[in-house]
Amino acid sequence: MGQERICGNFQFHEYANSTDCISINAILELVIFHHRSKSDTTTSVWVGILFAIGGIIVAAKASQVISVSTVADMRTDRKPELITGGLYSQIRHPLYLATILIFGAMALIYPFPVVIMFALSMIVYTIIGAYFEERKLVLQYGDEYNEYKKQAGFILPWF
């Protein structure tokens, strides 16, 4: 993939490492804050922590294959290529899966009605966004993307 510039003097691997550190720090803060606010740990909190860890792992694996400039459609110097390697060989939208896992984790760790409603709203919004991105990708890549759809799952892998 090469050492593409992403933000100013950051190289791609530096950007990926910094986002991984920020994500891990955010999860640790959620866990520490939760333990300060409530002494007993319920099963939903542990499941939420597992969802959060899963979301971080999926995002990190997806970030190894695709650059931020590709995700954000910032490359104007060449036609974007269809990414089908790594985690993308199993899941067409792993970053959306990571987002869903993180919002699910938030609702499980903080099971307050307002947090649950927010998380569910964002999960639905994410799935709708993925659906519309699929339509855009079919228009952009045509038959190549339609073949890819047969090989990889939408948000979850084919079993």
pLDDT at residue 111 in the model: 87
In the chain, the domains with their CATH numbers are 12-151 (1.20.120.1630)
Query: Tokens 């606010």 — which residue?
Result: 37
pLDDT at residue 1 in the model: 40
CA 73 → CA 67, 78, 103, distances in Å? 10, 11, 24
Indicate the pLDDT class of residue 147, thresholds 50, 70 and 90: very high
- Summarised one tens digit per residue, pLDDT across range 72-95 is 555 566 667 888 988 999 999 999
**Cβ atoms of 80 and 70 closer than 8 Å:** yes
pTM over 0.85: no
Mean pLDDT of 4-11: 44
Residues in contact with 35: Cβ distance below 8 Å, sequence separation at least 6, in sequence order: 41
